[in-house]
Amino acid sequence: MKRKPDSLAGELKLAKRIWGDIAGMRLTELRQLLQRYKLSVALGEVINLDNHWYVTHSGLIRLASRRRCDGIRTTLQQRFSDPAANRWVFRATVYKSPGSKGFVGYGDADPSNVSTLVYGAEMRIAETRAVNRALRKAYGIGLCSVEELGSFSNSSGRSRDHELSAKPSSNGSNNGQPRLRDQLCLLIRQHNLDPNLVKAYAADFCGTPSLKEASRDLVQSFISHLAACAKEDKDMLICRLNSYAQPVEAKP
C-alpha cells in the first residue's frame, strides 16, 4: 500500500517542526526514507542527530511486522563474550519468509562503546544492535540505527559523554533554558498527558531501558517530537501513548 500524499506531507511538516528548517539533501533523504520504507516521524521511527538521519529499533520492528517477517532468532556468542568485563556479543538472524536462509547481523556492547548512562545494560544493547543490523540487511536499509551508535565524538576528539559529565547535570539548564526534565513536565501538564505513558514512550523512542538512561541529545529530540505531535495531532498522540498502557488483569 502506498503512502498517501497528504500523509507524507504531514510527516515532512512534522519533521520541520521538530528539527527546524529541513531542505536540500537532508529533505530528499527523509522523503525517500518515508516513501520507500513507510517509516514515520510521528511514531519516532526516524530521528535526527547532528544533522544525520537514523532509524530506530521500534521503526525496524514495525517495518518487519508490515513486511510479515517470519521470525527473528538471537544467540549469545559465548566465545566472544566476557561477562566479567560486561562485554557481550550476539548473533541475530532474520527470516523474512518460511524457508528463508536468513539474514545475519552481529552486535556487540561493552562499557567502552556505550554511554555511561546505560552501564549495566550492555547485554540488552548488544542484542538490540544485532537485531537491528540483521533487519537492516534483510530489508536493504543502509541507514544506521540509533541504537548502533557507540561513543559520540566531536571535532576535538572528546566524547559526548565527557562533555555531559563536565556539566553540573545532564538534565541541567543550558544557556538559561529550563532543564529537560522541567520541559517535559511542562509539556505533560500543558497537554494533560499521562506521565507514566509518556515515560514509556520516551524510553521506546530513545531505545533505552528507561528514560533516565537516555542521552541528553535523545531526550531533547524526544521532547521536540512530543511537543510537535501534541500541537499537530493530539488525538493521534493520545492513541500512541495508550498503546504503552499495561493490560489490567481480570479479577477472579
> Does residue 28 have a pLDDT over 60?
yes
Q: What's the DSSP call for residue 84?
A: G
Q: What is the pLDDT of residues 38-84, one digit of tens each?
A: 999 888 899 888 888 999 999 999 999 999 999 999 999 999 999 99
Instruction: Report whether pLDDT(176) > 80.
Output: no
Instruction: Please list, in sequence order, all residues whose beta carbon lies within 8 angstroms of the beta carbon of residue 242, skipping any fewer than 6 positions away.
Output: 197
Burial of 47 (0-12, 13-18, 19+ CB in 10 A): buried
Q: What cell was used for 89?
A: 556479543
pLDDT of 1 over the 50 cut: no
Per-residue pLDDT tens digits for 101-111: 999 999 999 99
Question: To 10 degrees, what angle do helices 234-242 and 216-232 make?
Answer: 120
Average pLDDT over residues 202-230: 82
Whole-angstrom distance, CA of residue 74 vs CA of residue 166: 37
78-82, 166-170, 213-217: lowest mean pLDDT where? Answer: 166-170
pLDDT at 130 over 80: yes
| Mean of per-residue pLDDT scores for the chain | 81
The model's pTM is 0.65
Burial class for 251, CB neighbours closer than 10 Å (0-12, 13-18, 19+):
exposed
User: What's the one-letter identity of residue 161?
Assistant: D
Alpha carbon separation from 102 to 5, 105, 145, 150, 156 (Å, rounded) = 34, 10, 20, 26, 41
Locus of grid cell 514512550: 201
Residue 168 clears pLDDT 80, i.e. is over it: no
